[in-house]
């Protein structure tokens, strides 16, 4: 058996004998193989490094790019390394690589329409950790103020895995001035000391000084003072 002494007795033609022995040693110990990874595959960390130890040579699988006792991988899954020791004995170790490359669910909405009474509106984004708005928007966290119509974009980034997504919203405006009209049923005469002014073209009316507006409507009266 291995590590036991072995002997031989040698006899020559004259009948003389001599004995010698030797000890047969063995080295069949398997290497202490280890395999670890540098982390998880994310949008900001597209490759992961595998590091093996415990032997003289290392054979990685599958689809790993080796460099000595390390290798890089770019996909999740189960990876293995076969470690060979100085005695040519081998051992295998495995490690599981996970990934987190899910993009955030980016959203972008606007508060209303730009009008003469509402010159600035607010964009509100959601779905992530950080928000980058397109040109023309004044950002404040996940919101931004805009004062011009058009299509606006936000890039939403998940700070956990570095993945991002975009969302858009279209801002409209209604800043067309009304077409005002003003008529009267005059002239003022002794028989008609007051006349009625009738305005049109809008929703609300503000008459100048000297005219008595009727029920905040589109008519007012003027007369001889």
What's the mean per-residue pLDDT of the chain?
94
Please tell me whether residues 45 and 91 are part of one structural domain. Answer: yes
Please tell me whether residues 185 and 167 are part of one structural domain. Answer: no
20 sits in which H/E element: strand 17-23
pLDDT tens by residue, 112-134: 999 999 999 999 999 989 999 99
Give the DSSP per-residue string, 158-191.
-TTT--EEEEEEEE-EE-PPP--EEEE-----SS
Q: Is 18 a member of any domain? A: no
Enclosing domain of residue 140: 107-174
Q: Is 78 a member of any domain? A: yes
63 sits in which H/E element: none
Q: Is 4 a member of any domain? A: no
Determine the pLDDT at residue 15. 86
Please tell me whether residues 91 and 136 are part of one structural domain. Answer: no
Q: Is 44 a member of any domain? A: yes
102 sits in which H/E element: none
Q: Is the pLDDT of residue 1 over 50?
A: no
pLDDT tens by residue, 187-196: 999 889 999 9
Q: Is 13 a member of any domain? A: no
Q: Specify the number of domains making up the chain.
A: 3
pLDDT tens by residue, 6-64: 888 888 898 899 889 887 777 889 999 999 999 999 999 999 999 999 999 999 999 89
Q: Is 19 a member of any domain? A: no
| Averaged pLDDT, 177-184 | 96
**Interior/surface letters 107-143, b for 16+ CB within 10 angstroms, e for the rest:** bbebeeebeeeeeebebbbebbeebbbbeebeeeebb
Determine the pLDDT at residue 23. 76
Q: Residue 31: CB partners within 8 Å, gap ≥ 6?
A: 54, 55, 83, 84, 85, 89, 90, 91
Please tell me whether residues 153 and 115 are part of one structural domain. Answer: yes
Q: Is 86 a member of any domain? A: yes
């Amino acid at each position: 058996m291995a590590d036991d002494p072995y002997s031989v007795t040698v006899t020559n033609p004259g009948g003389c004998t001599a004995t010698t022995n030797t000890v047969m040693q063995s080295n069949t110990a398997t290497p202490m193989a280890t395999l670890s990874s540098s982390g998880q595959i994310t949008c900001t960390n597209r490759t992961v490094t595998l590091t093996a130890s415990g032997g003289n040579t290392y054979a990685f699988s599958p689809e790993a790019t080796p460099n000595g006792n390390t290798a890089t991988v770019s996909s999740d899954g189960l990876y293995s390394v076969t470690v060979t020791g100085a005695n040519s004995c081998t051992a295998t170790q495995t490690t599981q690589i996970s990934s987190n490359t899910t993009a955030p669910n980016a959203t972008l909405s606007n508060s209303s329409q730009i009008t003469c009474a509402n010159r600035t509106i607010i964009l509100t984004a959601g779905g992530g950790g950080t928000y980058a708005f397109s040109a023309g928007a004044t950002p404040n966290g996940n919101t931004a103020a805009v004062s011009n119509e058009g299509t606006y974009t936000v890039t939403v980034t998940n700070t956990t895995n570095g993945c991002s997504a975009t969302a858009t919203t279209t801002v409209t405006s209604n800043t067309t001035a009304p077409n005002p009209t003003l008529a009267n049923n005059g002239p003022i005469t002794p028989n008609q000391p007051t006349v009625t002014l009738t305005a049109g073209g809008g929703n609300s009316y503000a008459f100048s000084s000297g005219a008595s507006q009727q029920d905040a409507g589109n008519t007012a009266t003027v007369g001889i003072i």
